[in-house]
Amino acid sequence: MRRRAFLIGSSALLAACGSPAPQREIEGELLSTWEPTPHPVVRKMLEMAQLRPGELLYDLGSGDGRIVIAAAEEFRAQALGFEIDRDLAHLSQKAIRSKRLSRLARVVPEDLMSADFSKPDVVACYLTPEGLAKVTPKLEAEMRPGTRLVAYKFPIPGWTPVQTETMKDPDPNIPLHEIFLYHR
């Protein structure tokens, strides 16, 4: 995984230079690498999910909190992000406070596998196929009927999307952005 490789690689580089390696607190299993979702894709994901004011959104592997922040800021929804990397969770919370969204948005430094999926109205995720395969049984067991799930890049294994969108990136070197919407 890119994030894990970066952490190991940067530690080795610092050790070779005689500097102590930084300690990152990551408890649990990484189910994705952090690669920021482009803002137009975030907006499209939330529009496809038909997120409404007051609804509860969970963002699985919330990274820098951009989905959580957009859900609160643009859609006036309650939003909770799960981010296993404590540094990213801290940065997300700082951004949330700076935008004065603390009443609506929060990112917790927790493994997404600890989430109670019976609560949200909408679940958003950008996980690897392996990560999706691990979380899918928990989603199937806990999500209540009517919950919408929107996934970026990779489809949920064994699920049939009710809608699929493809967005072209302005950068010709970036592949198409695929978004999958599911209803439970």
Q: DSSP characters for 74-131?
A: HH--EEEEE-SBHHHHHHHHHHHHHTT-TTTEEEE-S-GGG--TTS-SEEEE---HHH
pLDDT for the residue numbered 33: 60
Cα–Cα distance measured from residue 6 to residue 3, given in angstroms and rounded to the nearest whole number: 5
- The single-letter DSSP state of residue 159 is -
Residue listed under structure tokens 């996980």: 127
Residue 80 phi, psi (nearest 5): -130, 120
pLDDT for the residue numbered 20: 37
This prediction has a pTM of 0.80
Write out the two tokens for 141. Answer: 């067991």
In the chain, which residues have pLDDT < 50?
1-31
Tally the C-alpha atoms within 13 A of residue 63's C-alpha that lie toward its C-beta.
18
